[in-house]
Chains A and B, each alone.
Chain A
Amino acid sequence: EIVLTQSPGTLSLSPGERATLSCRAGQSIGSNYLAWYQHKPGQAPRLLIYGASTRATGISDRFSGSGSGTDFTLTISRLEPEDFAVYYCHQQNNSPWTFGQGTRVEI
């Protein structure tokens, strides 16, 4: 099983600031198989980034993904109030598909 470790657990920032979220895999993942989701309470998770760096349809260009191998990053360039949520990385390189434990971005 590929373990995904996200850091930090919680990121306390203000609107307008830049957020940098990390996701480290226990073994190398093909870049095409790393995705990021945003999750707000009471809602379904929303796909932000797939293939490590491709924004999903309708996702603001404030969100960007990068990385390869075992180290991946989600960057939110200028936080808007609606960006405060939990973010998960996810791999579909190998079964079982796994998620990181999440990073909470809070005000």
Chain B
Amino acid sequence: QVQLQESGPGLVKPSETLSLTCSVSGASISSHYWSWIRQPPGKGLEWIGYINSSGSTNKNPSLKSRVSMSIDTSQNHFSLKLTSVTAADTAVYFCTRIARDSFEIWGQGTMVTVSS
């Protein structure tokens, strides 16, 4: 059974960098594409970007300048960095596995609050 688990600080100061890792178990990260999605409190879903095992990425144009993603096949995890955060970046962040162009499997999500 494939499982995804997000980890990282729950509180980030404004202007600093948000860093999250998604650990994958039950499957090799070398197959499929992997993605990050976020959901501000009480709002809808926003796609952040995806990465494949070769490190190729595609990012939401609205976040592209602040987003970087990486993948570590030896550790079977992938990561997200979002720079220069503001209160608008406060959200639950989900990592997902992409299959047949859909977000097939989701992590439970991790709440990140941007506040001083």
- Do A and B share a complex? no
Residues of chain A whose beta carbon lies under 8 Å from any beta carbon of chain B:
none
Residues in chain B within 8 A of chain A (CB atoms): none
